[in-house]
Structure 1
Amino acid sequence: MSNALPRHIAVIDIGKTNAKVVLIDAERGAQIEALSRPNEVVRDGLYPHADVEGLWDFILNSLAALQGAHRIDGISITTHGATAALVNETGLVLPVLDYEHAGPEASRPAYAQVRPGFAETLSPPLPNGLNLGAQIFWQQATFPAEFAAVTRILAYPQYWAWRLTGIAASEVTSLGCHTDLWSPEKNDFSSLVARSGWRPLFPKIRPAASVLGTVLPDVAARTGLGADIPVTCGIHDSNASLVPHLARKDTPFSVVSAGTWTICMTVGGDTAGLDEARDSLSNVDAHGRPVPTARFMGGREFDLLVPRIVEPSLDDIAAVIAADVRALPSFVPGVGPFGVTRGGWSVDPDGLSDGARTAAASLYLALMTRECLGLCGLGRMIIVEGPLARNRLFCAALGRLSGVPIHASGDSTGTSMGASLLFGGGSEAALGESIPPLEYAGFDDYAAKWRDRARSQN
C-alpha cells in the first residue's frame, strides 16, 4: 500500500433517513459523484431493525460503479449514532436495532439502577433506544441466549469497517455520542460497561483518522477494487461534520450540522451549561475531546411541518411575522430542548400558502436552534452545514437571534467531506458564504413571544 494520501475517496455515509456513497476528490476538496438510497427500517423479525444486507448490496454496487467510472483510492465511513452491531465470527448475532423502537422502554426501571449519572457520562436519559447502553441492556435481558453468543460489540461505523476489512475496532466519537458507555472527562469507558460485564466485548480503540486495514479479497473481487485499497476506522456523522473545522484556532465557534437531526456543537466550549433534562450532552470529537452539544430532530420536524416546500417570498415572510403565525415545539416527542411539550400551530396551517408555511417552519427551526445554542454555548460565529445551509431564511433569522456571524457551508453534506479528511491532508476549512442577519420589522417581538410561549409550556 502506498504512503501517498488517496485522492479519490469513497465515503460510505449512512444517515438515519438516507444512505449514500459519495466520491470525493481530496486534492480539489470537491464531490465527484454521489449515489443514494432510502435507509428503510425492516419491520419483521424480532424487532424493527436496519436493513444491513440491503445496505451492504447498495454499498458494494456503488463502490463497483464508482470504481468503474472514476477510480477509488480509499474508503472512509460515517454513520448516524445510537446504533451498534452485536456480532461473532459468523456475523450478526442479533439484528441491528432501530433506535426509534420502544422496546428498551420495557427495561427502563432496571436500566436506571445501573445507568451512570450525567456528571460521569454527560449523556442525558433519552427515550427508546437513543441511549445505546439502554439498547444493549434490553437486548441482553430480552434475548439472553443470543447475547451469550456475542463476541464483539461494534458501533455502527466500525461494523461497516469490519465488513470491509475483517478487522474489529472501537472508536470514541461513536462511543461518546449520548451512549451512557463513555466518560468524556476521563476519556475512558463509563462504569456501566464494567458493571454490565461488557468490557471484553468492545475491541481495541482506534483513532477515527486511522487506516484500519485494506479491503477483503471478496470485496475486491465483487467491486473491482484493488486489494490494497485502505479503509479508515470510521466516525460518527455529527463529528464528521466537525472534522473540516477542527484545525481552526478562533475558538469557541459553533457548528450546526443539519440532517434528520439538527445538531449544535460548540468547539472549544464549556460543558458546564449542559442540561440533561433538555437533550443537551457532550459529544467527543475525533481527537477525543469533549464537545458541548444540543440537538433536536429538525429535519424530521420540517418534513412534518411543510408538506410542500416553496421558497418564501418577502411577502410570505412579512405576512407570517405580522400575523404572528407560529409553530411551537415539539413535533417529535421526547427529544430536543422542549421534548416534554406537544407541538402545535398558532393558526390552522392548512390555511397558509406553501410559501408562508415554509417561512414559518424555517423561523421555527431558527428559534429552536438558538435555544440549543443557549445550552451548548454560543460561539463567536456559527457555521451551518448540510441542507439548512441552503435555507437563507433560517440562516438570516439565526443571525438575528444569535448576534454572531453566520456562515453557510457550500458543501452539500459536511459529513461526507469530513469523513474523507480522515485520511489526512486537510487544512482549516473555508467558512462558506456569510449570511447577513434578518432585518424585518416585528421579528424581535415575534421571537420574544415564541420564546415566552415555548418556555412556559416546558
Structure 2
Amino acid sequence: MSKTPVTAVFDIGKTNKKFFLFDQHLKEVYHTYTRLEAIPDEDGFPSEPVLPMRDWMLDTFKKALKFPEFEIKKLNFSGHGASFVHVDDSGEPVTPLYDYLKPFPEDLLTRFYSENEGKMTFCQQTSSPPLAMLNSGLQIYFLKYAKPDQFKKIKYCLHLPQYLSLIFTGLFVSDYTSIGCHTALWDFAKMDYHHWVRKEGIEPLLPPILPGNSIVHTKAELGSIPCGIGVHDSSGALLPYLRQEKNPFILLSTGTWAISINPFNKTPLSEAELSQDCLQFLSISGQPIKISRLFIGEEHKYQVEQMYAHWGLPLGTYKKLKFDRSIFEEVSRNTGKRIGFHYLKPQDYGLEKADKTDWDSFAEFTEAYYTFIHELTDIQVASLKLVLEGAEVNRIYVDGGFNANDIFLEMLRIKLPGKEIIPSDFPNGSALGAAMLVNMDF
C-alpha cells in the first residue's frame, strides 16, 4: 500500500500544543494535541514549559514518522508571539520562557524610555503601543539589567516559532513575522533594527533574518526532511486568505483577542492610533501590515459568566440565541441600560462608559446579552475603522470563535453598511498558513 505524502505542522499556542498532517491538497488528515502545565519561573510567575513541550514535539514527530499510511515530506511550525527562548551555543534554554503577562519592573521601563527619546516617540518608531513584557524585545533588556548572571549565558535569543524550528534543524535563525510582532526591536521607518538594539549590544544575540518561506532541513536523525523556519501564528492565519482572495480585504481574527489585520494598509501610526492599541506587523517578506487589537474574547467570557450567575443559567445558553432584528432595535433605543466593561475601555474609542452593570435593570438574559454585544460591536467597529482608514476594503473575513456568533456578525453587518462580512471557513488557519509556506511561493 502506497503512503500518502503529507506536510506536518506543529501549531504551538499558549493553551493548546497541536500537531497536524496535511495532504497534497492541504486538507487536514490527522491531528493531535496536548496541554502542558505552566512551570513557575525563578520569581514564582508561571512560565511556558519549554522542555516538556520539546519532549512532546519530538516524541509526537518520531511516532508520526512511523505511521504506515503517511509519509512526512515537509515540516513547519507556527507559534504565539511575544515569546523568546534564550539559548546557549548548543541550543539549550538558559532561562525560562517568560510569560508575556509577567510584570515588568517599572523603574527599568521608565529608564528604558528615558534613554530612547521618550515613550510615545519610541512607540511610534517601533509601531507598537507600550505593552511591557508583550513588547518582547524588552525582555532582553530586562534580562541584561535585572538578571545579569542569566544574561551572560545567552548565545542567541530566538522567537518561539524559530526555537521550534531549531529543535528539529539545529539552525539559529530569525524571521520577519516574529520580529514585527510588537517586539519593540524594529524601526518601521528605517526598516531595520532600532538603534537601541545596537546601543545595548544585543544585536549579536539575534540570529540572521531569513524570509518566511525559506526551506532548511531537519537533522539527519529526523530524516533530513525539508523544513520551514516557523511563522508567527497571526501572520500564518493570514496566508490562506492572501492565497485565495485577489481583492483587498481585512481579516478579523477572533479568539481571546480580536486582531483586525489589513495587509493592504501600510500607513504609519499616529499617537492616537497607538493609544487605541493599533500597531504594525511585518509580512513574511518584511513589509508593514497595519493591525488593531481588542481583548474581546476575555471580555465576552467574563460578561457571559456574570449573566449566567445572575440568572442561574447553564453554560452555553448564549449559543442557542439567533439574531432577531426587533430585539436589536429595542436595545439600540434603550440607551439607559449599559454594560460596565471589565477589560475593554469604550472611552478610548470615544464611546460612552458605564462604571458597572445593573443586571437587575434587564428583564431577562436575552436583553442583557444583546445589549452587551451591541456595545461590544460598537468598540469592534471603531477598532476596525483604525485599519480601514487610508486603505478602504469592501470585504471583512471573520475567523476564530466569533465567526459562529450570529448576533455578533449581524450587528457588524448593520454597523458597517457596504462591507461584506464573511464568516471564515479556514479552521486551524495558522497551521494551514505554516503548511502553505513550505509548499508554495509567496
TM-score, normalised via structure 1 length? 0.80
Q: Match of 2:19, as an amino acid?
A: V
1:75 and 2:72 correspond: no
Partner of 1:86: 86
Q: Match of 2:111, as an amino acid?
A: A
SS of residue paired to 2:133: coil
Q: Match of 2:234, as an amino acid?
A: S
Give yes or no for contact 1:104–1:135 (8 Å, CA) kept in 2. no
- Partners of 2:257 and 2:354 lie apart in 1 by 17
Which of 384, 389, 395 is equivalent to 1:373?
384
Which of 347, 360, 371 is equivalent to 2:358?
347
Q: Match of 2:282, as an amino acid?
A: V
Residues 273/139 of structure 1: CA separation in 2 closer, same or farther (3 Å cut): closer
Give yes or no for contact 2:349–2:382 (8 Å, CA) kept in 1. no
Equivalent runs, 1:304-319 vs 2, <5 Å: 304-307=302-305, 308-310=315-317, 311-314=319-322, 319=327
How far apart are residue 343 of structure 1 and its match?
A: 7.8
Partner of 1:100: 101
1:124 and 2:129 correspond: yes
- Partners of 2:383 and 2:49 lie apart in 1 by 32
How far apart are residue 357 of structure 1 and its match?
A: 5.8
Which of 35, 38, 43 is equivalent to 1:41?
38
Identity %: 27
- Partners of 2:112 and 2:16 lie apart in 1 by 31
- Partners of 1:259 and 1:118 lie apart in 2 by 26
Which of 402, 407, 416 is equivalent to 2:431?
416
Equivalent runs, 1:312-327 vs 2, <5 Å: 312-314=320-322, 319=327, 322-323=330-331, 324=334, 326-327=338-339
- Partners of 1:321 and 1:16 lie apart in 2 by 39
Between the two proteins, the alignment pairs up a number of residues equal to 411
How far apart are residue 312 of structure 1 and its match?
A: 4.1
Q: Match of 2:378, as an amino acid?
A: L
Residues 299/359 of structure 1: CA separation in 2 closer, same or farther (3 Å cut): same
Give yes or no for contact 1:370–1:398 (8 Å, CA) kept in 2. yes
Partner of 1:52: 50
Partner of 1:30: 27
Residues 351/340 of structure 1: CA separation in 2 closer, same or farther (3 Å cut): closer
How far apart are residue 256 of structure 1 and its match?
A: 0.9
Partner of 1:389: 403
Partner of 2:299: 301
SS of residue paired to 1:73: strand
- Partners of 1:289 and 1:336 lie apart in 2 by 32
Unpaired runs of 5+ residues, structure 1, are: 1-5, 221-226, 428-458
Moved more, 53-62 or 185-194: 53-62
Q: Match of 1:395, as an amino acid?
A: L
Partner of 1:441: none
How far apart are residue 258 of structure 1 and its match?
A: 1.9
- Partners of 2:370 and 2:5 lie apart in 1 by 41
Q: Match of 1:256, as an amino acid?
A: L
- Partners of 1:156 and 1:424 lie apart in 2 by 22
Give yes or no for contact 1:76–1:233 (8 Å, CA) kept in 2. yes
Partner of 1:3: none
Residues 287/149 of structure 1: CA separation in 2 closer, same or farther (3 Å cut): same
Partner of 1:436: none
Partner of 1:155: 159
CA-to-aligned-CA distance 1:322-347 (integer Å, 9 cap, x gap): 345644545268x9956999986543
How far apart are residue 163 of structure 1 and its match?
A: 1.3
How far apart are residue 131 of structure 1 and its match?
A: 0.7
1:170 and 2:193 correspond: no
- Partners of 2:347 and 2:240 lie apart in 1 by 26
How far apart are residue 424 of structure 1 and its match?
A: 2.8
Give yes or no for contact 1:20–1:34 (8 Å, CA) kept in 2. yes
Q: Match of 1:148, as an amino acid?
A: K
Give yes or no for contact 1:251–1:267 (8 Å, CA) kept in 2. no
How far apart are residue 8 of structure 1 and its match?
A: 1.5
CA-to-aligned-CA distance 1:295-352 (integer Å, 9 cap, x gap): 022222222222333324348775566345644545268x995699998654328978
SS of residue paired to 2:174: coil
Partner of 1:17: 15
Q: Match of 2:100, as an amino acid?
A: Y
Residues 113/273 of structure 1: CA separation in 2 closer, same or farther (3 Å cut): closer
Partner of 1:331: 343
SS of residue paired to 1:246: helix
How far apart are residue 173 of structure 1 and its match?
A: 0.8
Q: Match of 2:176, as an amino acid?
A: V
How far apart are residue 364 of structure 1 and its match?
A: 4.6
SS of residue paired to 2:183: coil
CA-to-aligned-CA distance 1:98-157 (integer Å, 9 cap, x gap): 00011344421111124462332212211x411112222112111112101211011110
CA-to-aligned-CA distance 1:182-214 (integer Å, 9 cap, x gap): 123432211121121111111111111111321
